[in-house]
Amino acid sequence: MTTTAIVQRKAHFILFATVCFAAIVLLIALLVYPKGQRLKAQHKKITELETALKEQRAMLPFYDDLNRKVNRKIPGAISCPPLETLSRKNTKQIVAVCKKIARQNHLKLTSVVPNIDDSDTMQVDVVFQGDFFHFRALLLALGRLPYLKRIDHFTVHSIENGREIQLKLGIARS
């Protein structure tokens, strides 16, 4: 073998080794490094989740205590009476009842509009005016009506001398 052949072989070997080394570096750069970064991110997320889990375990006694308090019975002041129905001939009483409730709670009854149809629930649009702090007592008084099935709509607007509350009541009737 001649020296040029030996030099060529060494050059080919160095070129081949360089290409193999570059391929290994490229393989590491394209496959191994991104997976390592994803593993670091997943490890960080796992650590955060473990911390959140420890916090939730520490808060579990408080949660159980609050859950027991929430599941207590509703106080008697806001209990609902058993549902009764208002006869069709007594539906005229709604206006008088609304006036009485408004007067008892220091409010002004602006309008009562019953929407009479053939269903077993009569819709009544009622508008009250007055001091905002009297509306709670108004709602509690309405809630004590035995034939009040539901309150479908509830809005409060500011007016010149206080507030205006608009209610759409569902009255059970027979």
3-state secondary structure of 131: coil
Share of the chain above pLDDT 90, in %: 18
In this structure, what token pair is assigned to residue 85?
């129905």
**Residue (of 113, 132, 131) closest to 122 by Cα position:** 113
**Residue (of 133, 132, 141) closest to 102 by Cα position:** 141
State yes or no: pLDDT of 75 exceeds 60: no
pTM score: 0.52
CB crowding 104-142: b at 16 or more within 10 Å, else e: ebebebeebebeeeeeebbbbebbbbbeeebbeebbeeb
Query: Higher pLDDT residue, 64 or 78?
Result: 64
